[in-house]
Structure 1
Amino acid sequence: MSNRVEIDLLGPMRLRADGRTLDVTTGRLRALIAVLALSAGRTVTVAQLIEALWTAQLPASPRRSVQTYVTRLRTLFGADLIATSATGYVLHVDPDAVDVLRFQRLLERADGSADPVRQRAHLTEALALWRGRPFDDVESDWLAGTEAPRLAERYLGAQERRIALDLELGRPADLVPELRELTGTHPLREPAWALLLEALDRSGRRAEALVQYERVRARLSTDLGVEPGPRLQAVYARLLAHTPARRTPPTLRRAPRQLPADVPDFVGRDDALALLDHAAATSPVATVSGTAGVGKTTLAVHWAHRVSDRFRDGQLYVNLRGFDPDRPPVDPADAIRGFLDALRVPHELIPADTDGQAALYRSVLAGRRLLVLLDNARDARQARPLLPGSADCLTLVTSRDQLIGLTATAGARAVTLDLPPVTDARELLVRRIGVRAAAAPHVVDELVTLCARLPLALAVAAARVAEQPESLEYRVAELRAASGGLEAFAADDATIDLRSVFSWSYDGLSDPAARLFRLAGSAPGPDIGVAAAAALAGLDADTVRPLLGELTRAHLLTERRPGRYRAHDLLRAYAAELAQAGPAEPALALGRLLDHYLATALAASRPLRSDRETYEPVPPPTAGPEVAERITGADAARAWFAAERRTLLAAVDAAADRGYAVHAWQLAWALTIDLDWRGRWRDIARVNSSALLAVRLLDDAEPAAHLHRLLGRAYGYLDRYADAEAHLQRALRLYADRHDLVGQARTLRSLGVVKERTGRHQESLEHDLDALALFRRIGQPAGLAGALNAVGWGQAMLGNYQRTLEFAGQALEILRGLDDRLAEAATLDTLGFAHHQLGAHDRAVDCFERALDLLRELDGLYYEVVTLRKLADSHEAAGDTVVAAQVRRLAVAALDELGERGTERLRAELTASVTAERDEPPGRPGRQPASR
């Protein structure tokens, strides 16, 4: 491991660790190093890394691929240098150890110095860091298309500034060759030409300077169709007037300092602040947008104070009142006049017309370095006239609108502000309420939840408690009694009354968008997709998309992922209030939505079912295939379930609660097929338990049998063995009453799993043999193969490994004629386990790796972890301890991605194995996991 890493990116990549050169040949690993290094000490989100590493043709699981590359980088640099944050990764190296950051810091030092000699020294040191094109041998379209051009522009700007300082310090003739080379390389770069003309003029070569001016004027006209800009024209005018350019002593200017006061108890927002740092480094315009009350102005003002020292010529601020309830939005012309006053422009020089004032404003800012904060803009049209024309200025715009127009026309970098994490919301309350909050953490946590983590709601609640500190529990009870409503947040001041604050966004909506917002407030789940929103509203997808876009631009909905929309709980409460006051639509809308979810879930479950699953429920007529989203193939099915998983869990509960019993149990049945692939046993237990309560109203044994079986199987994996056996025995009786042999056989298989997990291996084998007998009687090949494999595993648990090879081998022969890759992977896993126990470790590794290939095709992450565990043990037993450790790390990383409770036993086994690597001699086999 290294304590000192140096990363050079201003040219071909160079890496050094403790003075030792590192060689990295993998292209994407080099890109990962570069992106993390550019934000050394700050979080780089996973989304940013994916954008930088893959412009197109994303891998099947980009996040897992990023994790893999990070793991490899930790091996290279040392695990202590790369930390994981809530949203991404942080490279902990000294910023001065990254040449790009050192270059930028030297430029900032030059900006902050009033001494021309020091300025020149900083610029010269910065320019000396360059060895060629930035990221010259790093493969990343994002770096090549965004970061490299930005750095190149800063390099040229720094070079021109250094030449300008040299010009002022004397010896203009010495600069002419350098400027000729610079203008030859960049023939359309006007600042370089202006410097060349001035150098020629000061060297007594005015005639040559006039010839060069005509040359660049003709080039600009031919190539760009424009005339020279103000600076070149000013030099030309001096040349014609025989007025030699000379150094003008600097004049003292009183810099405007208009920023509002910073919030003294600002909390968190580290990721948003890092994004603003990144945005400011890559564009002269940045935007902060977000829903009402999320803290946009607070963040912008705090960040502006943090970076104010970078802007030597001051800061300008205006509240544009884009969503003010009492006053109209500020006219951009009025804002410009206010800025010109702040910049101390004499009134007699200010033109009467708006266009002239805007042009003067841009001219005054040219060459200056100011921060301009445009707060609470209505839209891009209001903010656009206030943008400086100088790249040395930075404009930060806040708005409830997404300001897409500024992104498209001004290259603005957008930062969307979401709700703060729970830890930050809790800290905000503790700081504002004081000792009482710190002494009652459970009450504070409930208050955070009731305020939906919305900063404005938290501030209102904290202010009310602060008036009477003893009222903390009372205020929480008051909010709890409101059942998520907004009454407890009512206030005389419209700027902090949540209904009023939300209404300023809602009142600007079109009627169709307002209707969709009202309906979306009562939709189950944390978010909603386009097709589901269309079903909810009774519209087609093409009609609903612009309405979702309108709600997103107003930040009444947030598009957290492409095509997925959500609102926080207080906005949902506001929408529900509006829906109750309007037409009686919510009940009909819920029915349409549940029809859509059920029809699509059944369609998506089909390509994921193994050949053993021959049953499919008959949906209600209203949930026919015509209301389903189109699903083509297993990949599309997995993607749909992944996107809708949390919403479907809530939909099962909503269906059960509101009398849609058939929808509830059939949704649970279809959803379980997906959840099983991920090992999400708690979710399986939750939805089937909820559905089981609903179907008791149906007096129908068929769905009850299925739900008892699925619930019992989940309880078995959750180590709730008594509950598991009770449900499975109940399912067995219900299947027997219906003479359902397949149901009985599958239930016996699940009972076998439960008995095995409790160490009753002989009883487990007997259940599996009974299931095998039933499948032989039924004549179902897939079920027969699964039962043979289960019997083979049962024999292994009793130490009969040769018998395991016989039964699992028969299963594999049957499966070769079927397309049941999950069953084939399970059978190969069993064979691998038997070979391992018999000492044939190479054959075991081969079986496990073939099983993993199949599981990765299926995205069966839980089962992949189980097999990785065994593969690591086989490598270790064969003496490959290094490979075994790598495989275990992959398994732990996969468990982290799985993020599922209910896998504690598997995690404990892996952790114990990793610990044992330090204690056991190489080649000693560990205890194998008892899993199927």
Structure 2
Amino acid sequence: MRFQLLGPLSIAEGEDAVVLKPSKPSSLLAALLIHPGSVVSTGYLLRALWDEDQPATARAALQSCVLRLRRLFTKYGVTGSLIEAVPGGYRMNADADTLDLVRFRTLVRAADGAADAESELYRLKEALTLWQGPLLANVPSPMLHRDEVPGLTEERLRALERACDIELALGRCRQVLVDVWEAARRHPGRERFSEQLIEALYRTGRQSEALSEYRSVKGRLEEELGIDPGPGLQRLELAILRGDDLGPAAVDQAVPLPGRAPLALAEGPARPALAAAPAPADTPAAALPSAPASVPPVPLPVLPARLPVPPVPSFTGRAAERAAINASLTARDPGAATVVVLSGAPGIGKTALALQTAHDCQEGFPGGVFILAMTRPDGSSVTPAEAMADLPAPGTAAGRILLVLDDVTGADQVRPLLPAAAGGAAVVTSRRGLAGLVATHGGTVHRLSTLEPEESLELLAATLGPARVNAEPAAARELARICGHFPLSLRIAAARLLTRPGLRIDDCVAWLAEDLPARLSLADDPRMSVPHVFGGALHRLEPRWQEAFRRLGDQLGEHEGLLLSSGTLGGSAEAEEALERLADAGLLEEGPPGPYRIHQLLKIYARRHAREWNRSRTATAPH
């Protein structure tokens, strides 16, 4: 049995994890696990459970909570007493095998003592994979959230900063963009994240975006704090304005190790060597700068063992697809790439299924599992050349590799990458059907639909805890229904309930139903929003197909069914093409020779989007 503290508090056995419901015993367990192996005083535990508003019977209630936790452990087959009563309080022993926090700190300490940058980065990345979502989201202790969560979060952010520093020093600027984009947005007070983001943008040839990001940071600092950006950011801005070459990367043990030597830009020769953006593929060889004669060519290193792919938290359902994909990926067909395409509506769970199957079969790919986001956070597409830079060069991988290419926008984005998987396999997720890719490269296609009602309930039980779902079974079924059985919608609703332990499921259902799908979103993460995800799929289309979707929204009445034909848009050949384009984008399903279908949640979104568009046009029309 393992305890997972770095996210919602949960107990795991093998690959199965149970998220504990919000309760006093959950707060007690979290308080003990935050201090593993240490004596936690009775006074501290009382504050963790009741803060400063402690009842007269608090000490007796604390003992009752300890007994309830011990019974819970027995339920999971744990013999002996994990919680030890000692003079002055209680102690709970845990090690790297039984508590993710201990393992995280062990890996970070191992990174400190690493002999080279690659080894340090490997351990830091492994440590960061242990963080599985909002910290202690299901623990209703104001004191722990106030006094302990900030310190734990700081440990993660320091590790992430160090990992991104190493990747910048090694020239892996595109990977830094993936890692640091969200960090810079969620933690605007940490200038180092902004500096890393700006530097990575500049090194990948996106000078105007780098300057725009700098000016945004500068404006926020002036407005909110009345201060200028730090020296590192100012030097970086000057280097971008002058078009300076920040220097080549040194991919060897001479790379300064973050945490022991700063990697910020500095004056003079002590500045660490960093990677410049790669030249365009069509640049003539004679136009490329040559290395100094004194620097010998660096051979391509054999890549170290890749990071393990963790299971997707609370993954449920998709048993048939999961088994079929695993069978396809592990089938050995020497000399040919095995391609699996996962397509379907936005928010339907394509990425989760791809990552879970990668976790399932990773042992069959000794060369590693390479997970590439093929769309940037701003919605733009990653080019094949950019993606290739993050894949091993031929002959450097230690065996078969598995590519997971997530959120692909078209077949041409994938085809140049498939030779890298020769003898291995590739899982491609896309809202589009990618029929052209399948026609030229073969493979299997899985068009995902919504979860079955029972699968939706399993997902809610896995995230909220069975007790909370079983207490309101009818409300849980209604919640699954109004979420359209979309995994994204269900996870958003579950996250809202987890962070509001006193909220009944029935009350949440009533609140969501008043304004669907707008209320299926989380304030602290704009990407966790059903309208945002649906809108992103729509805005990738040409304007005329966006207009067709709006016309479709105008035609769909509130009580109209979910079956459509070209007659819905007038019956012309152009109407037929419009429906086909919308289906290929994941906004409709099925199609000729049968009717098209639209999911209920997408139908609601289409009607709302059409109303808002018409309202905005009316408001801006000349009077």
Asked which structure has the greater RCO (Cα within 8 Å, sep 6+), the reply is 2
Q: Which structure is larger by alpha-carbon Rg, 1 or 2? A: 1
Normalising by structure 1, report the TM-score.
0.31
TM-score scaled to structure 2, two decimals?
0.46
Point out the structure with the larger helix share. Answer: 1
